[in-house]
Homo-oligomer: A and B are copies of this chain.
Amino acid sequence: MTETLQANLISLEEKLNEIDSQISKFKQISADEGIKLNEVVEILERRKLQLLDELDAWQKTLIARHKDRPLACDYINGIFTNFTPMCGDRHIMDDHAIVAGMAYLEGRPVVIVAQDKGRTTEEKVLRNFGMPHPEGYRKALRVMKFAEKFNRPIITFIDTPGAYPGIEAEERGQALAIAENLREMSQLAVPIIAVVIGEGGSGGALALSIADRILMLKYSIYSVISPEGCASILFRDAGKAPLAAAALKLTADDLYGFAIIDQIINEPAGGSHRDPKSTIENVKAALISNLDDLCRVDKNELLNGRYKKFRNMGVFCSFDN
């Protein structure tokens, strides 16, 4: 089913590619023949942007999950220097769905905690498609407490379909592991920045997102449930995922409008996979400026600010019964 729904994105990509090739063809002609075709090129560029403006929530969902979309490790390699992984939850296993360690951001020592889905089939299996087990959350928490002890800011990269739903995960306290991360992150006395780079899947994403700043790539999503899950439960038809995607208001624009996130990081037309390098540069710039802001804030103010930030999330009313 997802495949038929994917057709949607493929046809978009085809159109974009077609326009792109036309643009370069006309540019070529323009150069070779000395004819001014600027107007044609402009029209095509405008058509392209129009197509992208019209992207609906479901198309953005597909872009957020695009197989060529840059993954956490691409950002880590592209943005930081001397990344040195730290492994293990000190109990059961090193969960490869979580990548964590020390690194420098333009000379600033920071601690990174990231979800990575894996690129190749092998990597995907190793990283369990970016779905952490409880041990992944405990590894993340251990490394974040390390960051707190040594007063290093924390940067998290969010990209997960959700916490892994499996027998062992339930047996070993998946819910508890997530809950503890939520509680502990709210009290970590160092700046925390979370960047949603792809799929922000439910509690499994939230468990690394109790941050002072939440940034989102333009075509990433962040949601209480996957559109497919929502469709099958509330719409009683998993095929209605596009409808559910729209209803859930899970795009960066939506969430920025709700003041749930703090900043949208720009992506190239059509998605970051069409130009990873520029996206990585955008993320880097956003990280630096946010980090520099946060590092100026005193510790108590930081913690109070973080508390208030999440304290104020939620829209409710008062009835006169």
Contact = CB atoms under 8 A, between A and B. Distances in A.
Interface of A: 90-92, 134, 171-173, 176
Given A91-B91, A92-B92, A92-B172, 7 more contacts: A90-B173, A90-B176, A91-B134, A91-B172, A91-B173, A91-B176, A92-B171
A255 B179 CA distance: 45
A142 to B, nearest CB: 12
A184 to B, nearest CB: 13
A207 to B, nearest CB: 16
A172 B91 CA distance: 5
A176 to B, nearest CB: 6
Contacts of A92: 92, 171-172
A251 B172 CA distance: 41
A178 to B, nearest CB: 13
Nearest to A135: B91
A90 B137 CA distance: 14
Nearest to A177: B91
Identify the interface centre among A92, A134, A171: most chain B CB within 10 Å of its CB. Answer: A92
Ranked nearest first, the 8 interchain pairs of A and B with the lowest CB-CB distance are A91-B173, A90-B176, A92-B172, A91-B172, A90-B173, A91-B91, A91-B134, A92-B92
Nearest to A138: B91
A321 to B, nearest CB: 38
A89 to B, nearest CB: 9
Contacts of A172: 91-92
A261 to B, nearest CB: 32
Contacts of A176: 90-91
A176 B171 CA distance: 22
A88 to B, nearest CB: 9
10 contacts: A90-B173, A90-B176, A91-B91, A91-B134, A91-B172, A91-B173, A91-B176, A92-B92, A92-B171, A92-B172
Contacts of A173: 90-91
A172 B134 CA distance: 14
Nearest to A88: B173
Nearest to A134: B91
Contacts of A134: 91
A173 B93 CA distance: 10
A276 B173 CA distance: 41
A123 to B, nearest CB: 24
A92 B176 CA distance: 11
